[in-house]
A and B are shown apart, each in its own frame.
Chain A
Amino acid sequence: MIHPTPPGTRDVLPDEMRELRALAAVLRRAFEGAGFGEVRTPALEYEDVLRRGDERAGPPGFRLFDSEGHVLALRSDMTIPIARVVAARYSDAEPPFRLCYFAHAFRAVERGRGQAAEFLQGGIELVGPSAPVGDAEVVSLVLEALDEAGLRRHRIGLGDASLYPSLLERLEVPEEDRAPLLERLGRRDLVGLEERVDRLDLGGEARELLVTLPTLRGGPEVLERLSGSLAPAVENLRACYELLSERGVAERVILDLGLVLELGYYTGAVFELYDPAVGFTLGSGGRYDDLLGRFGRPLPACGMALHIERVHVARTAEERLR
């Protein structure tokens, strides 16, 4: 008789394990080499702690009670636990803090969708430096680490979580209409977004901007689409892109004015990693300047997490090409 594992979980046998270990070792060496020390946090956290990090997040995928009736949850990412660590364990220390991790995170999955409920994340968190310097350090380190891991065709999407909201404000879109627009943008429903923008009865130029902005992605030329009084909205992106050019990684960067991530704690730059061999993103991250304050240590911060198993798929595909 075969005893199953829960949906979305799996066993890893020695051949794969060796490759995953080797991959993580390369990435760890790159992160440690850049001064990011590895930390480990408990897989279980108090649910209240995780919720404090992201109030807009849905319920955690897995919850349980301890012997005293407290609600515990399996972490759904490492960023919130690390924010807790920094606030609790480095309360007097002088920033910056550079930390990295390799740990499993957990999310609820639906049966039959081929998604992982338990997945291995590897990533970095940079606490202290603000935008754009901190953003550029995180992006370029992740790109270099992936180079060392043997990826050749990976690209990073660079957007700004505050761009569309600030645009809505600058165009004086009524407050009550903003949430529905952002919700459609977050769902990648560009048809619904256009419908909703049309209902606002804006002038031709403002309408055009709200509809086309989410489709603008490519090189630095996309930044030119916002001019005049709207230009400051992309100032952060422009500055970050310039720093990345100086670091020599600009050709890997896709500026993406429509990039929005589902996690609610991002306040500035957001990143997504792509590789042509994989249909899903290899990782994501961004700037979360408000998160540490919720744990009592207000500091700007930025980070990025890689989905190690997907990086492994991309790397395997890369080896086949050689």
Chain B
Amino acid sequence: MRRIDSPARVWGHYASLIILAIICLTPIWVMVSTSFKNEVVIFDAKPVWFFFFPTMENYDYILTRGKFDRYFVNSVIVATVSTFLTLFLGGLCAYALARLEFKGRRFVANSTLLVRMVPPAVLAVPAFAMVVTLNLNADLVVLIFFYTALNLPFAIWLLFGFYKQIPVELEEAAIVDGASPLQVFFQVLFPMMKSGYAVAGIFTFRIAWNEFILALLLTGRNSRTLPVGAAGFITDTGVEWGRIMAMGTLIVIPPLLFTFFAARQIISGLTAGSVKG
């Protein structure tokens, strides 16, 4: 039965939600508002929170005089290609772990996530050493390779859980119905795995899009991604907050769009009704 809460309880509930929202949204507001301020307002001794005369000069500068377009293209390439690779390889590995019997399967399935627990900062130096030793050019392929490697364990672990939820009878039914292995995958499994791939995709894309340390170390002048580009506004002569924040605001938009798009694929209980539980 539904409990009827007292008004005080309801108010307390909403008050705590509002406080949480303020905590989360304040930095975003600071970023967005600062991006529309000129230097004078930004460095005013008394911070201006809401009422100021907005200016587009920061956006104008980064979009016309910086290398924003190149960084943006680099970021899009790195994030989408590594996300695609991660989902593709991760999906295959997860399927194998969930369905096939082989030696060491349990160990691999249980220890995959451990690899993900290593922070990227720890990997930075060995990664750099590896790139130098192998004489790889500082280009996007290297970054894509590292992001894929970095994200694979998490994607495998996540998709493994989703695959395990799909009853094996569904695959068998499809096989008896005359489906080839590829048809089983694309027409039966994949539609049910959409949620899993969407979740894994959101995580992978965000990490690849936002990652800074490896990108800083492993990219050259022409292969920088957006976060590294934004850091370029920290110069010897000072920190150009307005431009950094304008760049930050623009950086946030694509993953936001991607998340909204991907999240629409997330439907819980997708296998409901397929088998009697």
A joins B in a complex: no
